[in-house]
Amino acid sequence: MNEPSIVQHLFDVLDQSASLIEESQSVTYLEALCMTAENIHQDRIVQKDLEKQLGPLYDTFFREGMTAEDVRRAYQLAVLKGMKTGTQLNHQMTPDSIVLFMGYLLSKLLPSDTFSMLDPAAGTCNLLTGMINQSQSETIEGYAVEVDDLLIKVAYNNANLQQRNIEFFHQDSLRPMLIDPVDITVCDVPVGYYPDKENASQFTLSNINGQIYSHFLMIEQGLKYTKEAGYLMYLVPNDLFSQDEGNKLHGFLKDQAVIIGLLQLPASMFKDQRHAKSIMIMQKKGPDVEPPKQALLAELPSFSNERALSEMMTRINDWFHSHWSKQK
């Protein structure tokens, strides 16, 4: 019989432990997964009645040669299992293929420098840690903000298990944050209405066709917490600009940022085309910021079409080579 892969092995440990804790403590699988991660990270089993079963299981967790990325993938599989039952669309984890693609774009944008990075809607922290894992930089300061009580636990346990240095903030990220402006803000934006009218009134983009939308406010807030000439890489709804009938976003961005690229994700990735998304890359204005001669605009092919995807990557690499590295 073949040895299971490292990711499969790590998932098996997390899954067996979470299932045992779920049953014995009468908690949800996701809560039990958080407890599992905490036990492993702290090297201490809190659930004394399970010590005999969990101890030998955890002893096998760390394997030679395993990476933070192996842990992220295994944890992601366990989170997906835990989310199968009734997770709201807006709480869903950023899928792996998109995480990997955004990580690749990050490695092109900020090849190896030391930088700081914020995700103001961090969810499970799959996107933020996945992008950090793909970067060549050894020294990234990460900041993650999440409003949901359970997801913030899922997120910091994820980062701890990957031994990633990320500071967590459990709050509404549309309220003031104790975070200095960062070099890059990344976000898979929550799409929908923002309920706090009073707080929204502080924003320029608080009224989009008479509505207050989180996805517009997250863009404005991201720009505020990004340094001059810093970057933003956002996963946004395809119809973002057409939702904005009064062109408020358009005017706001023209004032504050330059668009570097807009990459439409393949339609096949979304069951419902109304939820289809694009990756928008922006640079906040600053003294030496010039818009690229030609923005990176593309409709990405299906990620399972290897030939078309490889041609697209060549096109994107060429774009970075001719329009980006020369500009830097």
91 is an interface residue for ligand SAM by CB under 6 A:
yes
Residue among 93, 106, 249, 260 that touches ligand SAM (CB under 6 A): 93
Please state the closest distance from residue 141 (CB atom) to ligand SAM, in A: 18
- Distance, in Å, from the CA atom of 251 to the CA atom of 86, rounded to the nearest integer, reads 38
- CB of 291: closest distance to ligand SAM in angstroms? 27
Residues 182-221, mask of contacts with ligand SAM (x by CB under 6 A): ------x-x-----------------------x-------
Q: Confirm or reject binding of residue 151 to ligand SAM (CB under 6 A).
A: yes
Should residue 148 be labelled a site residue for ligand SAM when binding is judged by CB under 6 A? yes
- When binding is defined by CB under 6 A, the residue of 94, 157, 185, 238 that contacts ligand SAM is 94
Residue type, 321: H
**Number of alpha helices (DSSP H) and beta strands (DSSP E) in the chain:** 12, 8
146 lies in the binding site for ligand SAM (CB under 6 A): yes
CB of 2 to ligand SAM, least distance (A): 30
Least distance from C-beta 121 to ligand SAM, angstroms?
3
Q: Cα angle vertex 50, ends 44, 54, to 5°?
A: 60
User: CB 221 → ligand SAM: shortest distance, Å?
Assistant: 9
Does residue 147 belong to the site contacting ligand SAM (CB under 6 A)? Answer: yes
Q: How far is the CB of 17 from ligand SAM (least distance, A)?
A: 21
For position 145 contacting ligand SAM by CB under 6 A, the verdict is yes
Burial, 321: exposed, middle or buried (Cβ in 10 Å; 0-12, 13-18, 19+)? exposed
The verdict on 36 binding ligand SAM (CB under 6 A) reads no
- Per-residue string for binding with ligand SAM, 162-181, x by CB under 6 A? ----------xxx-------
Q: Does 90 bind ligand SAM (CB under 6 A)?
A: yes
Which range touches ligand SAM (CB under 6 A), out of 60-68, 86-94, 256-264, 291-299?
Answer: 86-94
Q: Could you write out the three-class secondary structure of the chain?
A: CCCCCHHHHHHHHHHHHHHHHHHHHCCCHHHHHHHHHHHHHHCCCCCHHHHHHHHHHHHCCCCCCCCHHHHHHHHHHHHHHHHCCCCCHHHCCCCHHHHHHHHHHHHHHCCCCCEEEEECCCCCCHHHHHHHHHCCCCCEEEEEEECCHHHHHHHHHHHHHCCCCEEEEECCCCCCCCCCCEEEEEEECCCCECCCHHHHCCCHHHCECCECEHHHHHHHHHHHCEEEEEEEEEEEECCHHHHCCCCHHHHHHHHHEEEEEEEECCHHHCCCHHHCEEEEEEEECCCCCCCCCCCEEEECCCCCCHHHHHHHHHHHHHHHHHHHHCCC
Q: Determine, following the binding rule CB under 6 A, whether residue 126 of this chain makes contact with ligand SAM.
A: yes
- CB nearest ligand SAM: which residue? 123
Q: Residue 127 interacts with ligand SAM (CB under 6 A)?
A: yes
Q: Rounded to the nearest whole angstrom, what is the least distance from the CB of residue 317 to ligand SAM in the complex?
A: 25
121: contact with ligand SAM by CB under 6 A: yes
Which chain residues interact with ligand SAM by CB under 6 A? Answer: 90-94, 121-124, 126-127, 145-148, 151, 172-174, 188, 190, 214
